[in-house]
């Protein structure tokens, strides 16, 4: 699917004069000494290869007079990049979490860091950026702004990584993102017996079966990470409705809702451990075939509705965007405060990769 008059490349709009825009071009990790069999037409591999060839061709045409060229473009890497590169990224995220917040204290009294500033933005605009055509474009810009903060404020020099769900859908906890090693984003949450959660948001209700964790992240670089914004769900019962970082009255005008409802609840200071609950049922909706199903869409309306699973009444339709959140579980289940988990940004980098390929 082509966009004119500009080119979309892995996370940003090339051709808009944005320096150091990331492009999901081929990298050394994807090269192999053994030749690979040709990808089947219509497969995710074939579409990805076509996309990369297109980006490479466009970049070759550009001289250094164009701010976005072969010398300035950054390549987003999959989660299996080198350990040293992953550690550099982790250190930058931790740096951002130590930098003082810039949010207006009258609006976001709970923000304690620059990392929190991004969580606050997502909470405040949640109704305007989900279940509509803003989903892809807004999160693309949000991710890019976050990456620029890592670079400019914390000295990160690499491109933003992404978590390729399609490679680890059988066992997400074994991926380099969640294996709990010193170069991961931490482990699953500590396991304790718990039942289903009934998620209520955006006028919808969804039952989420209990996952394989549920408690605080117990291992890895973010084992002691503190989440400052958002509401605390009650302790799980066999099955219950969880209170999310969601305004209680969606009929209040936007300008009033953000200030009078969210700011007095989800934007207040509420320190607590980062939780995860890796869910194998939802990871089964992040396969390559699920990506291919989404990429069949011919317009943004179909793309958004299909990504969130409400294009049809077919219960087998994959919900790729929601599934990525629900695979991680815990805080990531909260559609408002989910950027409080650093893994949010790797999920959305992959989601943006799919958008770019489309």
| Signed CA dihedral, 290, 291, 292, 295: sign only | positive
Q: Which of 198, 278, 282 is nearest to 236 (CA)?
A: 198
The answer to whether the beta carbons of residues 323 and 336 sit under 8 Å apart is no
The percent of residues in the chain predicted with pLDDT above 90, rounded, is 56
| DSSP-derived secondary structure for 255-318 | HHIIIIIITTTTTS---EE-B----HHHHTT-SHHHHHHHHT-SSHHHHHHHHTT-SSS-TTS-
**Which pLDDT value is given to residue 233?**
66
Q: Label residue 75 by pLDDT band (50, 70, 90).
A: confident
| 3-state SS track over 135-194 | HHHHHHHHHHHHHHHHHHHHCCCCCCCECCHHHCCCCHHHCCCCCCCCCCCCCCEEECCC
The per-residue b/e assignment along 55-85, b for 16 or more CB within 10 angstroms, e otherwise, is beeebeebeeeeebbeeebbbbbbbbbeeee
Task: Answer whether residue 229 shows pLDDT above 80.
Answer: yes
Report the distance separating Cα 3 and Cα 300, nearest Å: 11
Beta bridge partners of 240: 197
Q: What is the average pLDDT across 218-241?
A: 75
Phi-psi region of 211 (alpha: psi -120 to 50; beta: other; left: phi over 0): beta
Q: What is the average pLDDT across 19-30?
A: 37
Report the distance separating Cα 135 and Cα 139, nearest Å: 6
pLDDT: which is higher, 299 or 207: 299
Q: What is the average pLDDT across 72-87?
A: 85
Among the residue ranges 10-19, 242-251, 301-310, 316-325, the one predicted with the least confidence is: 10-19
As to burial, measured by CB atoms within 10 angstroms (0-12 exposed, 13-18 middle, 19+ buried), residue 32 is exposed
Q: What is the average pLDDT across 39-45?
A: 75
Q: What is the average pLDDT across 172-191?
A: 96
Task: Answer whether residue 298 shows pLDDT above 70.
Answer: yes
Q: What is the average pLDDT across 200-222?
A: 86
């Amino acid at each position: 699917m082509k966009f004119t008059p500009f080119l979309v490349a892995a996370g940003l709009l090339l051709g808009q004069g944005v320096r150091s825009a990331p492009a999901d071009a081929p990298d050394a990790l994807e090269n192999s000494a053994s030749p690979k069999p040709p990808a089947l037409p219509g497969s995710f591999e074939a579409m990805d290869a076509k996309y990369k060839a297109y980006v490479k061709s466009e970049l070759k045409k550009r001289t250094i007079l164009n701010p976005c060229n072969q010398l300035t473009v950054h390549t987003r890497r999959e989660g299996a990049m080198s350990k040293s590169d992953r550690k550099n990224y982790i250190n930058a995220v931790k740096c951002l979490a130590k930098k003082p917040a810039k949010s207006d204290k009258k609006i976001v009294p709970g923000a304690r860091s620059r990392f929190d500033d991004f969580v606050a933005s997502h909470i405040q605009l949640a109704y305007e950026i989900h279940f509509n055509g803003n989903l892809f474009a807004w999160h693309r810009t949000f991710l890019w702004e976050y990456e620029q903060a890592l670079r400019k404020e914390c000295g990160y020099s690499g491109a933003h990584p992404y978590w390729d769900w399609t490679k680890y859908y059988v066992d997400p906890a074994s991926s380099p993102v969640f294996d709990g090693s010193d170069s991961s984003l931490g482990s699953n949450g500590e396991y304790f017996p718990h039942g289903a959660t009934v998620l209520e948001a955006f006028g919808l209700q969804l039952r989420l079966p209990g996952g394989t964790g549920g408690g605080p992240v117990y291992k890895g670089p973010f084992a002691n990470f503190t989440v400052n914004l958002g509401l605390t769900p009650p302790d799980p019962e066999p099955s219950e409705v969880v209170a999310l970082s969601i305004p209680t009255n969606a009929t209040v005008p936007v300008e009033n809702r953000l200030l009078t409802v969210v700011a007095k609840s989800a934007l207040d200071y509420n320190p607590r451990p980062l939780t995860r609950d890796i869910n194998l049922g939802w990871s089964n909706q992040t396969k390559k075939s699920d990506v291919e199903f989404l990429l069949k869409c011919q317009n943004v309306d179909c793309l958004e509705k299909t990504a969130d699973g409400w294009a049809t009444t077919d219960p087998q339709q994959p919900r790729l965007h929601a599934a990525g959140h629900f695979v991680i579980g815990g805080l990531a289940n909260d559609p408002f405060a989910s950027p409080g988990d650093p893994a949010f940004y790797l999920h959305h980098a992959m989601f943006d990769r799919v958008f770019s390929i489309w």
